[in-house]
């Protein structure tokens, strides 16, 4: 892959990450609006039940905790998958980098001249910088995806409740 191809690939990834972050921010705002609507509707249901206990909607009140538990469980599962994937990637990256560092150290130690040793060290350092930048970009992408995945079930529940309770 040429340097220009890498730059283009990185630019596309940054564009996707920016779009994902924007969509997640919009979903977060929509979720907060829906949550406020749901809280308002449920407060009215509870107030009506306090004013006349025969009118209390026990089904709706019971949903308040079960729906939250389901949505939060799905959110935690999404975060667990994300962090598991990230942990695996980081562990693999550490092992790869340890092997590259070992080979670089051997090249430096076996260099026939000081200039060759410096060149070997420089080559490793420049390669490391590129690998570290790529790994950070990948980590950023995975964290943004994990954030969106974790928000999705909570957003879906809040928006669905807001629509249902809007009557």
pLDDT tens for residues 78-96?
Answer: 999 999 999 999 999 999 9
User: pTM of the prediction?
Assistant: 0.80
Least Cα distance to 24 among 145, 161, 136 occurs for 145
pLDDT at site 105? 96
Residue-number span of the structural domain to which 107 is assigned: 3-165
Over 80: is that where the pLDDT of 167 sits? no
Domain count within the chain: 1
Least Cα distance to 128 among 93, 165, 89 occurs for 93
Question: pLDDT of 94-147, one tens digit each?
Answer: 999 999 999 999 999 999 999 999 999 999 999 999 999 999 999 999 999 999
Question: pLDDT of 17-61, one tens digit each?
Answer: 999 999 999 999 999 999 999 999 999 999 998 999 888 888 888
């Amino acid at each position: 892959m040429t340097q220009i191809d890498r730059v283009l690939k990185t630019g596309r990834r940054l564009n996707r990450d920016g779009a994902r972050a924007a969509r997640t921010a919009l979903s977060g705002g929509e979720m907060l609006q829906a949550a406020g609507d749901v809280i308002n509707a449920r407060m009215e249901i509870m107030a009506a039940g306090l004013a006349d206990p025969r009118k209390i909607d026990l089904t709706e009140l019971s949903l308040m905790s079960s729906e939250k538990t389901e949505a939060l469980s799905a959110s935690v599962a999404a975060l667990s998958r994300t962090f598991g994937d990230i942990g695996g990637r980081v562990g693999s990256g550490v092992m790869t980098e340890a092997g590259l560092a070992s080979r670089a150290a051997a090249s430096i130690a076996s260099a026939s001249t000081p200039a060759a040793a410096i060149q070997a060290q420089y080559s490793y350092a420049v390669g490391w910088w590129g690998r570290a930048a790529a790994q950070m970009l990948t980590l950023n992408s995975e964290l943004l995806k994990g954030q969106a995945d974790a928000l999705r079930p909570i957003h879906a529940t809040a928006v669905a409740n807001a629509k249902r309770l809007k009557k």
